A and B are shown apart, each in its own frame.
Chain A
Amino acid sequence: MHRPIETIGRLVGVGVLVLALMLSLRSPTADVSRAPRALSNDAVADSTGRGAALELSRVLLDRGQRDGARGADATDSIGQSVHLTLQRIPSAALRATLAAASLAGLPLDWTDSTAARGLAVSATAAADPQGGTIARARAQNTQPLVLRDAASTLDSVADASRGLAVSGARLSARIEARQGRSRAAVDVPAQALLRRLLLFARPGWEAKFVTAALEERGWKVDGRLLIGRNAFVTTGMPSGADTTRYAAVIVLDSGVVPAEPLSRFVRQGGGVVLGGDALRDAALRTLHPASPDGERPMVPGALLTDAPRRGLDAWELRPQRNAVVLVQESHGTHADPTVVVRRIASGRVLASAYRETWRWRMEGPVDGLEAHGAWWSALVSAVAFVPQRDTRVLRNDRPDSARGIPSVARFDSAIAAGARAAQRSPYPGDAAPYADLVARLGAPVALPTVRPTPATSPTVWWRASWLWFVVAAVALVTEWTSRRVRGAA
Chain B
Amino acid sequence: MFELIQKLFGKDSSSSKDIAKERLRLVLVHDRVNVSPQFMEVLKDDMIRVISNYMDINEKDMEVSLTNSKSSVALIANIPVNRMKRGMYNQD
Task: Decide whether A and B assemble into one complex.
Answer: no
B residues with CB within 8 A of A:
none
A residues with CB within 8 A of B:
none
